[in-house]
Copies of this chain bind each other. A is one copy, B any other.
Amino acid sequence: MTITTVARLAEHDGETVTIRGWLQNRRSKGKIAFLLIRDGSGTVQCVALKKNFDEEFFDKLTSLPYESAVIVTGPAKADERAPGGVEMQVDSLEIVSVSEEYPISNQEHGPDFLLSNRHLWLRSSKQVAIMRIRDEVIRAIRDFFHERDFINVDSPIFTPNACEGTSELFEVQYTEDELAYLSQSGQLYNEAAAMAYGKVYCFGPTFRAEKSKTRRHLREFWMCEPEMAYADLEDVMDLSEDFLCYIAQRVVAHRKHELEVLERDISKLESIRKPFPRLSYEEATEKMREHGHEFEFGNDFGAPDETFVSSLYDSPVMVHRYPHEIKAFYMKRDPQDDRFALGVDVLAPEGYGEIIGGGQREDDLETLRARIQAHELPEEAFEWYLDLRRYGSVPHGGFGLGLERTVAWMCGIEHIREAIPFPRMLYRIYP
């Protein structure tokens, strides 16, 4: 007997096959029972006729608890009216295990309850759709870089030094007399890798010990960071633009069904096309004033400012050349106007906020050393980083993309905690 999956059922039209899954829903009408079976690849309606089973078994079937594990054998039948375009007749059914009463029902549950049952909540149709879109975004990210000759160079999680102050860092007792910090960004290591391999990216979990509890923050999230040697701010903006268009097009092309499950307005994703508007910080603050949005020049953008600026456009918008005081020590100053740093933030539309942050890095040894001193950072810890300016320094830059924010944006969901399988928040590390 051919064992297959729901997703591949349509390839077996007319054949008798076996699928192995769980009972997601059922209803019965006298002599006929409709069983909705999910197997992780999709859901299919299976039709069981009473006459084909002994009465006791059929009764058991029509009262089987949700999430019971079942193996169903019968002919697959293409049917345009069926979800997924295919149905199954049940010739035989094996009950692998009878579930206890399943705690998640179709009624509304509060977020605390659902998060405490995340290990089960992951089975719900919307969560399945989100995780499939996450999987697609991850693959799109890797394909994008591979097609452009980037190589994946993983940055370490344990880092000996705090790159931008220790207040948001998780500390680990590495050995009896040595502390380590969990990485907030692989960028400094990426710079070393870019000098070795030209174009690189890292993609892994990063950690921020933030106290904030907003819908945009997680304490553990995945970040993808490309870095290019022989690149300037324009190259970084060009790459960001191509990158976001590529991801959105892949999701629309490969995950239409999942977007429909999430009732996502697909036209919003289709309108992510280049060129994206490019505003300098000065121009952006000018726009805010024109539109009566209060903002003090010199400040960093808060979430309301990001939302305001992005609300002016349908596509993502790039804001570049921020006051250097609000950007990291390693950012190169604008040679045209040294009040500003050659950084760029890409703001997603629909209020999803900053999705990418990046820029060109300082490549001059003495300037960088002075910057480290001015920021009162331990110079010794950055000797290796300074070496990159001693031995063959070149203009270079890159950016970081937050995976969960991107997934939340693609999915059109409000809170990024649903964009990661097991979210880690201020008061939540279980399950």
Q: Among the listed stretches A92-100, A286-294, A410-418, which one makes contact with chain B, having 4 or more residues with CB under 8 Å of it?
A: A92-100
A119–B387 touching, CB < 8 Å = yes
A-B pairs with lowest CB-CB distance, top 4: A40-B198, A384-B431, A119-B192, A40-B197
Given A139-B142, A390-B100, A391-B100, is A199 in contact with B156 using a C-beta cutoff of 8 Å?
Answer: no
Of A9-17, A28-36, A323-331, A422-430, which stretch is located at the interface?
A422-430
* 24 A-B contacts (beta carbon < 8 Å): A20-B229, A22-B195, A40-B194, A67-B392, A97-B363, A99-B392, A100-B391, A119-B189, A119-B387, A119-B388, A132-B151, A155-B421, A156-B220, A156-B421, A158-B219, A158-B429, A160-B430, A170-B172, A170-B173, A180-B429, A193-B421, A205-B205, A381-B430, A384-B430
Mark out the residues of chain A between 380 and 403 whose CB falls within 8 Å of any chain B CB in the assembled complex. Answer: 381, 384-385, 387-388, 390-395
CA distance A120 to B155 in the complex (A): 15
A41 interface contact, C-beta 8 A: yes
Enumerate chain A interface residues (CB-CB to B < 8 A).
5, 7-8, 20-23, 39-41, 67-69, 71, 96-97, 99-100, 102, 117-120, 122-123, 127-128, 131-132, 134-135, 138-139, 142, 146, 149, 151-160, 170-175, 178, 180, 182, 189, 192-199, 204-205, 207, 219-220, 222, 229-230, 363, 381, 384-385, 387-388, 390-395, 420-422, 424, 426-427, 429-431
Alpha-carbon gap, A139 to B430, bound state (A): 31
Interchain CA distance A128-B153 in the complex, whole Å: 11
How many angstroms between the C-alpha atoms of A117 and B229 in the bound complex? 19
A171 near B173 (CB under 8 angstroms)?
yes
**CB of A14 to closest CB in B, whole Å:** 22
> With A40-B196, A69-B392, A392-B68 given, is the CB distance from A424 to B154 under 8 Å?
no
Contact status of A192 and B229, CB under 8 A, knowing A120-B391, A149-B7, A422-B156: no
Are A174 and B429 within 8 A (Cβ)?
Answer: yes
Contacts of A71 in B (CB 8 A): 230
> Which residues on B sit within 8 Å (CB–CB) of A69?
392-394
Of the candidates B134, B149, B429, which one forms a contact with A41 in the assembled complex, judged by CB atoms under 8 Å apart?
B149
Contact of A222 among B40, B41, B154, B199 (CB under 8 A): B154
Q: Chain B: which residue is nearest A380 at the CB level?
A: B430
Q: Provide the bound-state CA to CA distance between A283 and B67, in Å.
A: 40
- CB contacts (< 8 Å) of A152 on chain B: these are 134-135, 138-139
